[in-house]
A and B are shown apart, each in its own frame.
Chain A
Amino acid sequence: MVEVVLGTALAAIGAGLAVGMAGLGSGIGQGIAAAGSVGAVAEDEDMFARGIIFTALPETQAIYGFLIAILLLVFSGIMGAAKNLPVTAGLVAIGAGSAVGFAGLGSGMGQGITASSAVGAVVEDEDMFARGIIFTALSETQAIYGFLIAILLMVFGGIMGG
């Protein structure tokens, strides 16, 4: 068993925050979008494919969180080669995890609400599909900001790279 030093333990908290918070937002958002899509499919079977697309959109936040969590686990020494991460780098890891986690929480829920509304608009008027996708994709930006900052923190905070 790997002996975990404080810095590495802090990175583990960061990984948990990354995947936990992003997954929470993504899960709630996807649940809302899926509930709307099920309602749309119940009325119009042709909505199945479009419902799946809108429901899949809030998945990305969980993917960002998952990626950051994996990177943290690998570069902190929990997975792969044993490595003693300094405490300061461990604090940076919490920052990185929080960045992608909280951004994913807000973005996922927001995207789920928009996706559900877009499904309603598309089932009412088919021509709304493209515009619905654009509106739904807008909420993605916050998650991308969080993901980018998490990567930058890991690169320049001494976790990844040098």
Chain B
Amino acid sequence: MVEDINTIVTSMGFPSMEAFIALLIVALAVIALIAVISTIRPVLEMYPYTYPNARVRARKGRLLNDKQYTEILESQNLEEVKNYLRGIPEYAKYIDEYPLEKALDTQLAETYNLIATIAPDNSKEVFHFLLKKWDIRNIKSIIIAKEAGLNIDETMNLVVPYGELSDRLNTLIDADSIEEIINGLEGTEYAPILEDALPIYKESGVLLPIEAALDKYLLQNLLRTAATPEDDNTAYLHEYVGNMVDISNIKIILRAKVDGLKFEDIEPYMISDGYQLREWKLKDLMESEDVSGVINGLEGTDYAPLLSDSLNTYSETGSIAAFEKDLDNHINEIAKRISLKNQFGLGPMIGFLNKKEKEIKNLKTIVRGKREQDLSASFIKEMLV
């Protein structure tokens, strides 16, 4: 047998058996290297997500299920709702510390904070930027409270103790005017935004320009942060944030059409460089004659098929609520799709955040419903998402 092999090796042109074996070992080493590199690369891409995804899935498993919603809905009053939530570890620690709605918002803010902390490096920036949502929410709450003449304790009940501004909240709450709030925000990115919006607010007397300017800052920069996808994971994040931006723009345009506003009136509040809807398209949509024209103008985008079914409801009621619901459902569907398609990446985190937002929204709906004595459990249930 050895002779046979030697004959084959010699006939192949190798001077000796040793030379053939040396070549064989080199070939084996190359094959091994290719096999290792090609199999390890995709696995290493998944690696940073395994820890955060396990944590997120644990929390997803503790989200309220239908049976729990039914039990909460059957509560006779707010105290019973509180008692129920005391039995859920996520909410228990905040229920006795804060008023109910603040407790729910604080739990949501804690969830965002957790995701920003455990997210892998390549998506950390986006989730960290998303935390500014709580700063912006707090600034808006404080300004609204000042306008409504609420005292310090009442204002404190509106703010959430999360975000980069948490150590400045007391100073901001103590401020006597919006100008003082802006002074208190000196050195942050929010001061120039508020300074720009202040003259319009003073002229019009409505807070919308200030609120819209802050919302625009958040979404515009969130989209910019997510705009350079490094891989599939960050591309999904870009898709999710991009759809949020487009939906915000569509909602502004629909409201503007109902209120009979012109493009110039709402332009400052729109995010000009959207995801599917670029600046020229937004201008086109605003130039439509009415709400139906806006929906028809969306032809060719993902949003047209979603909204066309609600045109009849709009014609009957004159309310754009059905469109807003369709758009919110679209974001939920995108989050669900991403969480299923990208199970070993960012999917579970995006899916969980979306579901958590829905849970808090539903709990707040129940809390408000229970506060209104006349609302039945079945009526409140219909309002849940």
Structural contact, B47 and A39, CB atoms closer than 8 A: no
Residues of B within 8 A of A98 (CB): 28
| Of listed B17, B61, B344, B348, residue having the most chain A CB within 10 A | B61
Structural contact, A32 and B348, CB atoms closer than 8 A: no
Say yes or no: is A56 at the interface (Cβ < 8 Å to chain B): no
Say yes or no: is B53 at the interface (Cβ < 8 Å to chain A): yes
Roughly how many angstroms separate A17 CA and B43 CA in the complex, as a whole number?
21
Interface hits, B20-53 → A, CB 8 Å: 21, 24-25, 28, 32, 35-36, 39-40, 43-44, 46-47, 50-53
Roughly how many angstroms separate A31 CA and B377 CA in the complex, as a whole number?
48
Say yes or no: is B60 at the interface (Cβ < 8 Å to chain A): yes
Interface hits, B271-323 → A, CB 8 Å: none
Roughly how many angstroms separate A86 CA and B32 CA in the complex, as a whole number?
24
Say yes or no: is B57 at the interface (Cβ < 8 Å to chain A): yes
Interface hits, A24-65 → B, CB 8 Å: 24, 28, 31-33, 35-40, 42-44, 47
Say yes or no: is A67 at the interface (Cβ < 8 Å to chain B): no
Q: Assess A28 versus B51: contact at CB under 8 Å? Given A87-B17, A124-B61, A125-B61.
A: no
Structural contact, B39 and A109, CB atoms closer than 8 A: yes
Say yes or no: is B55 at the interface (Cβ < 8 Å to chain A): yes
Residues of A within 8 A of B343 (CB): 117
Q: Assess A120 versus B47: contact at CB under 8 Å? Given A40-B58, A88-B1.
A: no
Give chain A nearest CB distance to B27 CB in angstroms.
11
Say yes or no: is A151 at the interface (Cβ < 8 Å to chain B): no
Query: Which one of A21, A87, A109, A116 lies within 8 Å of B54 (CB-CB)?
Result: A116
Structural contact, B55 and A42, CB atoms closer than 8 A: yes
Main secondary structure of the interface of B (DSSP, over half): helix
Give chain B nearest CB distance to A20 CB in angstroms.
9
Structural contact, B57 and A120, CB atoms closer than 8 A: yes
Residues of A within 8 A of B51 (CB): 35-36, 38-39
Say yes or no: is A121 at the interface (Cβ < 8 Å to chain B): yes
Structural contact, B54 and A120, CB atoms closer than 8 A: yes
Give chain A nearest CB distance to B268 CB in angstroms.
43
Interface hits, B208-263 → A, CB 8 Å: none
Roughly how many angstroms separate A112 CA and B319 CA in the complex, as a whole number?
52
Say yes or no: is A100 at the interface (Cβ < 8 Å to chain B): no
Residues of B within 8 A of A13 (CB): 25
Structural contact, A35 and B47, CB atoms closer than 8 A: yes
Say yes or no: is A72 at the interface (Cβ < 8 Å to chain B): no
Give chain A nearest CB distance to B216 CB in angstroms.
36
Q: Assess A32 versus B50: contact at CB under 8 Å? Given A105-B35, A120-B348.
A: yes
Interface residues of B (CB under 8 A from A): 1-2, 5, 17-18, 21, 24-25, 28, 32, 35-36, 39-40, 43-44, 46-47, 50-55, 57-61, 118, 343-344, 348
Q: Which 7 A/B pairs are nearest by Cβ-Cβ distance?
A: A39-B54, A43-B58, A124-B61, A120-B57, A35-B50, A39-B51, A123-B58
| 23 A-B residue pairings within 8 Å (CB atoms) | A6-B21, A17-B32, A31-B47, A33-B50, A35-B47, A35-B51, A36-B50, A38-B54, A39-B50, A39-B52, A87-B21, A88-B1, A88-B2, A91-B21, A94-B24, A94-B25, A109-B43, A112-B43, A116-B50, A120-B348, A123-B57, A123-B58, A124-B57
